[in-house]
C-alpha cells in the first residue's frame, strides 16, 4: 500500500508539533526575566480608534539598554491609553512618560517573583506538551483508520513507532526549552 494512500502524513504531524513549539517560544518571550525585551509588550492591547490594537502597532518599541524599554507612540492622543494599558497588563512595570515616549524601566526581580515566573513557564510548557500529544493522538487515530482499511500489522507498528518517536523528540524539546527558560528566570 502506498504511503499517500494511508492518510498518514508524518511531515504534517511534525509541522503541527513545530507550531506548538513556536507558540511556546512566543509565550516564553513574553515572560519578564529582568532583562528588557520587545516581546514583553507584544500581548498588550490598547483601545486605539475604538478597537483593541497591539501596542507595537501604535508606536515603535526599542530596547536602548538591557534594563530599559521605550515605546515611541506615533499619535499623541494615544499616549495616555497606551500608558493605562501597560499599567493594567500585569507586567509589574511602572511606565514613565516623556512626551510621546513611554519608558519602561525593568526592575530587578525578587526571589518570590522569580519562583512565580518559573511556575508560569512550567504552565506554558505543559500547554505545549498537551498540544503535541493532541497532534500525536490525531496521528494515532489516522493510523487506526488505516489499519481498519487494510494496513498490515508490521506496517502499522512501523508508523506507530515513527509517530511516537516524533512525539518524544518534541516533548524533549519542550523540556529543554523549559529548563533553559527557568534557568534564565532564576539567574540573578
Residue 7 has a pLDDT of 61
Residue 43 belongs to domain spanning: 35-105
114 in the same domain as 23: yes
116 in the same domain as 171: yes
What whole-number distance in Å separates Cα of residue 25 and Cα of residue 35? 16
72 in the same domain as 42: yes
76 in the same domain as 134: no
Residue 32 has a pLDDT of 64
Structural domain ending residue among the three candidates 47, 72, 105: 105
46 in the same domain as 13: no
Structural domain ending residue among the three candidates 59, 87, 105: 105
Quick check: 73 and 59 in contact, CB under 8 A? yes
80 in the same domain as 142: no
CATH number at residue 179: 1.10.132.20
Quick check: 70 and 156 in contact, CB under 8 A? no
Prediction pTM value: 0.67
Residue 188 has a pLDDT of 62
Helix axes 153-186, 111-148, angle to 10 degrees: 170
CATH number at residue 55: 3.30.1360.40
Residue 33 has a pLDDT of 65
pLDDT in tens, the chain (188 residues): 344 445 678 889 999 999 999 988 888 877 766 667 777 787 788 888 888 888 888 888 888 887 888 999 898 888 888 888 888 876 777 888 888 888 888 877 778 878 888 888 899 999 999 999 999 999 999 999 888 888 888 888 999 999 999 999 999 999 999 999 888 888 76
Domains identified in the chain, total number: 2
24 in the same domain as 117: yes
Residue 4 has a pLDDT of 44
115 in the same domain as 79: no
How far is the first Cα of the chain from the last one, in angstroms, to the nearest whole number? 58
43 in the same domain as 86: yes
Q: Determine the 3-state secondary structure of 67 from DSSP.
A: coil
99 in the same domain as 125: no
171 in the same domain as 81: no
pLDDT tens-digit profile of 113-125? 788 888 888 999 9
Structural domain ending residue among the three candidates 105, 137, 159: 105
Amino acid at each position: 500500500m502506498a504511503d499517500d494512500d494511508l492518510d498518514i502524513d508524518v511531515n504534517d504531524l511534525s509541522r503541527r508539533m513545530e507550531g506548538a513549539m513556536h507558540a511556546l517560544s512566543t509565550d516564553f518571550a513574553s515572560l519578564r526575566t529582568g532583562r528588557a525585551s520587545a516581546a514583553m509588550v507584544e500581548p498588550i492591547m490598547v483601545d486605539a480608534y475604538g478597537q483593541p490594537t497591539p501596542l507595537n502597532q501604535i508606536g515603535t518599541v526599542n530596547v536602548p539598554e538591557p534594563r530599559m524599554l521605550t515605546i515611541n507612540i506615533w499619535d499623541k492622543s494615544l499616549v495616555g491609553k497606551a500608558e493605562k494599558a501597560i499599567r493594567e497588563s500585569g507586567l509589574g512595570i511602572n511606565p514613565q512618560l516623556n512626551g510621546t515616549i513611554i519608558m519602561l524601566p525593568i526592575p530587578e526581580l525578587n526571589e518570590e517573583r522569580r519562583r512565580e515566573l518559573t511556575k508560569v513557564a512550567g504552565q506554558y510548557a505543559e500547554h505545549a506538551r498537551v498540544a503535541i500529544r493532541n497532534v500525536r493522538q490525531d496521528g494515532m487515530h489516522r493510523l487506526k483508520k488505516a489499519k481498519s482499511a487494510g494496513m498490515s500489522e508490521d506496517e502499522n507498528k512501523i508508523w506507530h513507532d515513527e509517530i511516537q518517536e516524533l512525539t518524544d523528540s518534541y516533548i524533549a524539546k519542550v523540556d529543554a526549552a523549559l529548563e533553559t527558560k527557568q534557568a534564565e528566570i532564576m539567574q540573578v
